[in-house]
Amino acid sequence: MNKQDLTLLTDLYELTMMQGYYEQQQNEVVVFDLFFRNNPSKNGYSVCAGLAQVIDYIKNLNFTYEDVDYLRSLGIFSEDFLHYLSGFHFSGDIYAIPEGTVVFPKEPLVKVVAPIMEAQLVETAILNIINHQSLIATKASRIVFAAAGDGIMEFGLRRAQGPDAGLYGSRAAMIGGCVGTSNVLAGQAFGVPVMGTHAHSWIMSFEDEYTAFKHYAELYPDNCTLLVDTYDTLKSGVPNAIRVFKEFRDAGAPLKKCGIRLDSGDLAYLSKQARKMLDEAGFPDAGICASNDLDEYLLHDLKMQGAAINSWGVGTNLITSKDCPSFGGVYKLAAIQNEKNEFVPKIKVSENTEKITNPGNKTIFRIYDKETGKIRADLICFADESYDTDEDLLLFDPIDTWKKTKLPGGSYTMREILVPVFKNGECIYQSPSVMEIAQYCKKEKDTLWDETKRLFYPHRVYVDLSQKLFDVRNALLDQVNLSD
């Protein structure tokens, strides 16, 4: 699809700070981290998404004549600074965790290493992109988990907060595990399956329900799912659907795939009754799809009640992540390069301990149990640290330091999950297709323990700090306390 120019998709203060750096001739290389503090919806993990759009944004980052003229009209920028912007291009490095990876609070999803003016400019757009798509991918993953193997179709376009949220929300939902989307533009743009049935208006536009069903089946004999709740689900809708299915079968041209959709009422009761009627009529393979303001909690309850539903269309509550509409990602300065090209760690301090940042130029190692392949913990450390998996590894909680675990050498494996995406302003990373990312995400979730995937009160995956990073962090905190 056409790439958007998002250069001015930024907060004004990014540009005013840039001008301040420019006037002060302050453009040293810095490190910024994008991370989040809590999993959305009280989940045990999150799914990162949005990197492909970030890449497109960085590639197309330049100020056009129209952009510069508009900024000039604001009356707050000097001609020298506007001239600098007219030749702007991103020259730094970007590291990121690949899309579809399961991630946890406090670890950098994106790391920007660039001159401070460049690193400052990209903050808003990167946060906007990563926050939104990671939120929807995580919500979709929860809903897919609740469906326990049934297919989830994303039906939320008409309820999304605008076209972009609908388009990229569909993309993120596919990464999170949906089997298809109703969004035709998303199908074209990202090569994902598009799915759908028909509306009540189709039924109401005919003289009767049976005629509407018959014409629809004639149009789509390879995949015919009929919406049965326009008038009366069990007395009219299901019997008329069965009548049409039988007529095609008796005529020697059975529908290749047939089923019904429920969109109102007690879905557990209606689906069980409909299943009985379909089976007795000789259509045990007919599917039952359900929609109607579904979310993971309702799916969980319907599954517990034995609902005879094998596919679900989920709209509003997925595409808006209605119960938790914000991912909460932040973008914080972590280090500044000095005259010796060394990164000097910087820390943000707060009375709220949750908001104290991890300083320095960092990377992340994911630690797996060698026998099961499950995640034991994530370890944030300085980018120049390395580990030998044949040696014992001591992990400890950076807050409750008495909580310790020693992993014997040879019992674990490690993988660095922060990978280079841009080097000296050039993209060196090839984004997989959305369906490839979705497959990768599915494998990623297989590395989680069952206790972490549950919807309610999931077990927390520990994100620990290396001893070296922990010591530097504490030393910086001590310096702040002494200066007080």
pLDDT of residue 394: 96
Closest-CA residue to 48 (of 117, 119, 98): 98
pLDDT of residue 1: 46
Closest-CA residue to 315 (of 168, 124, 54, 140): 140
What is the Cα–Cα distance from 65 to 68, expressed in whole angstroms? 5
Q: Residue 299 burial by CB count (10 A; 0-12/13-18/19+): exposed, middle or buried? A: buried
pLDDT of residue 351: 77
Alpha-helical runs (H) found in 355-462 = 434-446, 450-453
Q: Residue 316 burial by CB count (10 A; 0-12/13-18/19+): exposed, middle or buried? A: middle
Strand partners for 395? 405
CA dist list (Å): 45 to 13, 48, 320: 32, 10, 19
Q: Are the beta carbons of 94 and 38 closer than 8 angstroms?
A: no
**Helix and strand element counts for the chain (H, E):** 17, 21
The contacts of residue 332 (CB under 8 Å, 6+ apart) are 32, 33, 35, 348, 357
pLDDT of residue 5: 84
pLDDT along the chain (484 residues), means of 10: 79 98 95 97 98 98 97 98 97 98 98 98 98 98 98 97 97 98 98 96 98 98 97 98 98 97 97 98 98 96 97 98 96 96 92 87 98 98 97 94 95 98 98 98 98 97 97 92 57
Kindly report whether the global pTM for this prediction surpasses the value 0.85: yes
pLDDT of residue 261: 98
What is the Cα–Cα distance from 401 to 395, expressed in whole angstroms? 9
